Amino acid sequence: MTSAAEKDTDNDRRNVSDALGVVVLGACAGWPLVSSIGRDARPEGVLLAVLAVAAGYAAGRMSGSLLPVAAPCAGALAGLGLAVAMPQVAPGPEFTTPLGHTGAVAALLALATGAACCAAWATPVPALRFGLRMLAAGIAVAGAAMGSAAGCAASAVVLLCSLAAGRMRRRGPGLAGLLLAATLVTATVWGTASNVLPAGLTSALRGPLPEHRVQLWRDALRLARRNTALGVGPGRLGELSGSAPEALLPDGKPHSAPLQQAAEQGLFGVLLLATAFCWILYALWRSPRSTPVTLTAGAALTALAAIAAVGDALSFTTVSAGAGLLAGLATAHPWGAGVPGS
């Protein structure tokens, strides 16, 4: 039995994580406006992304409290449907090149797999749990059938991490490992743009990373170094980058969320992006849901962070809303549930 004092302490900790979330999301919405002052900037895209995350998070908290199994299952099916439909909605060479909707499709598949695995851990019925894990495996297979190697790989990694999460007694070390993984991917992207990686690693990355993608990253880093404090302003990178207009389908983005933040919103924008990810992991750490559920959601969101570090997945509202929804589902307090140890 959980004592009243333990319940009060856990409620206080969750209230702290919720308050931090309000502050972080508020700062993420306010800073683009500050960095736009006196410039012909376009912060609407950033504001829409923040709004999508907040709305998805709120929806996940409410639906996860009422339907802890059905809600993530529905989210998984919706994510899979959006991923399948996206190439048809926006056809053309942009989907088949490394600069287009491939990142968004991979991100949706990873989030859908995470939602299916969360639903599997939430149900006490063995047959239903097995079926939901087969759904997660089917999402990975769907990624391969769609030609999204990144989506297939991300889904498989999330599924394996979810299975491994069932053997972990404490979530803290697992979440710390996920934070380290996201940091390593971001550091690799930053090192590639700075041309400071060892020659062997640079050669290994040269195949999967086209030269034009790397040049976009270097342009973004060059602009970030010239405008360290405020950046060049949201939405202005395409105008100032020498490589963006030469892309097959120029969209004015460097296809790396950390580098885009650095170039357009300066150092503080990068810190806000990192803080938002750390806040989500902290909210998962303090979540009343079971350790397998929180680690599974953390693995899916870390996969999203890795995809966003090398692509433009966060430029799509459906991805931002899906990330918020999964985080909300994994931090919701189901009606009548006890408070697990963390």
Q: Whose structure tokens read 């599997």?
A: 120
pLDDT of 56 > 60? The answer is: yes
pLDDT of 58 > 90? The answer is: yes
DSSP state of 29: H
Mean pLDDT of 107-120: 97
Give pLDDT, residue 339.
44
pLDDT of 1 > 50? The answer is: no
Give pLDDT, residue 83.
93
**Number of domain units in the chain:** 1
Q: Is 235 exposed, middle or buried (0-12, 13-18, 19+ CB in 10 A)?
A: buried
In single-letter form, the type of residue at position 153 comes to A
pLDDT, tens digit, 9 for 90 and up, residues 135-184: 999 999 999 999 889 999 999 999 999 999 999 989 999 999 999 999 99
**Inside any domain, residue 45:** yes
Mean pLDDT of 123-131: 96
pLDDT, tens digit, 9 for 90 and up, residues 182-217: 999 999 999 998 888 887 777 777 667 777 888 888
pTM for this one?
A: 0.90
Sign of CA dihedral 228, 234, 236, 238: positive
Give pLDDT, residue 3.
55
Cα→Cα distances 301→16, 35, 44, 165, 259, Å: 21, 27, 24, 15, 19
CB 338 within 8 A of CB 70: no
**Inside any domain, residue 337:** no
pLDDT of 95 > 70? The answer is: no
Domain that holds residue 237: 4-331
pLDDT, tens digit, 9 for 90 and up, residues 61-80: 999 999 999 999 999 999 99
Give pLDDT, residue 101.
62
Mean pLDDT of 222-250: 73
**Inside any domain, residue 341:** no
Q: Whose structure tokens read 């971001």?
A: 186
Mean pLDDT of 2-26: 75
Cα→Cα distances 216→45, 100, 192, 220, Å: 20, 14, 11, 6
pLDDT, tens digit, 9 for 90 and up, residues 305-323: 999 999 889 989 999 999 9
CB 212 within 8 A of CB 234: no
**Inside any domain, residue 338:** no
Cα→Cα distances 39→43, 133, 264, Å: 11, 50, 11
Give pLDDT, residue 341.
41
